[in-house]
């Protein structure tokens, strides 16, 4: 019984995640959302360890950092085309302030590169910088 409830919960959670992108038909918008989701998942590993919700593991932290490094440099390509979709949360000012948007993407790349994944303290300090870079961009360029 317990197991059935748990698996139902997981199924619902996954369905919710799929639904969030389900109505998006524009492939460019879909791809940039997928990139952000990848960034979110890697950030969740760093954040989980920093906050003690996940056991600190330098290899897993390094793997998450590698994903962040790779994804951060893909942001400008992913957003270069001003594609829209009713479900998109991207604000049009992105393409009016493209240089600043690129600077903010670069700030994420810098924050990710700067994470010292060898120690828990390093991961905790890294999360601060990482979080600031997400917020710095979302505040201006993503809908609330």
Chain residues in the site for ligand HEC (CB under 6 A): 20-21, 29, 32-33, 36-37, 39-40, 43, 75, 88-90, 101, 104-105, 108, 130, 133-134, 137-138, 141-142
Closest contact distance (angstroms) between CB of 5 and ligand HEC is: 27
Q: Which is nearer to ligand HEC, 16 or 118 (CB)?
A: 16
Q: Which is nearer to ligand HEC, 7 or 96 (CB)?
A: 96
Reported for 123-126, long-range contacts at CB under 8 A and 24+ positions apart, including other chains, are 123/46, 123/49, 123/50, 123/56, 123/61, 124/50, 126/46, 126/50, 126/65
Residue 90 sits at φ, ψ, to 5 deg, of -75, 130
Q: Which is nearer to ligand HEC, 39 or 49 (CB)?
A: 39
């Amino acid at each position: 019984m317990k197991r059935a409830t748990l698996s139902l919960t997981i199924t619902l959670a996954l369905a919710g995640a799929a639904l969030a992108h389900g109505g998006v038909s524009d492939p460019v918008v879909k791809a940039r959302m997928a990139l952000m989701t990848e960034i979110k998942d890697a950030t969740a590993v760093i954040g989980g360890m920093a906050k003690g919700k996940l056991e600190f593991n330098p290899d897993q932290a390094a793997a998450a950092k590698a994903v962040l490094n790779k994804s951060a440099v893909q942001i400008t390509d992913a957003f270069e085309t001003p594609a829209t979709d009713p479900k998109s949360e991207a604000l049009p000012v992105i393409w009016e302030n493209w240089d600043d948007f690129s600077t903010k993407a670069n700030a994420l790349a810098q924050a990710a590169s700067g994470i010292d994944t060898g120690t828990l303290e390093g991961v905790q300090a890294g999360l601060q910088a990482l979080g600031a870079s997400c917020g710095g961009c979302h505040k201006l360029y993503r809908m609330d």
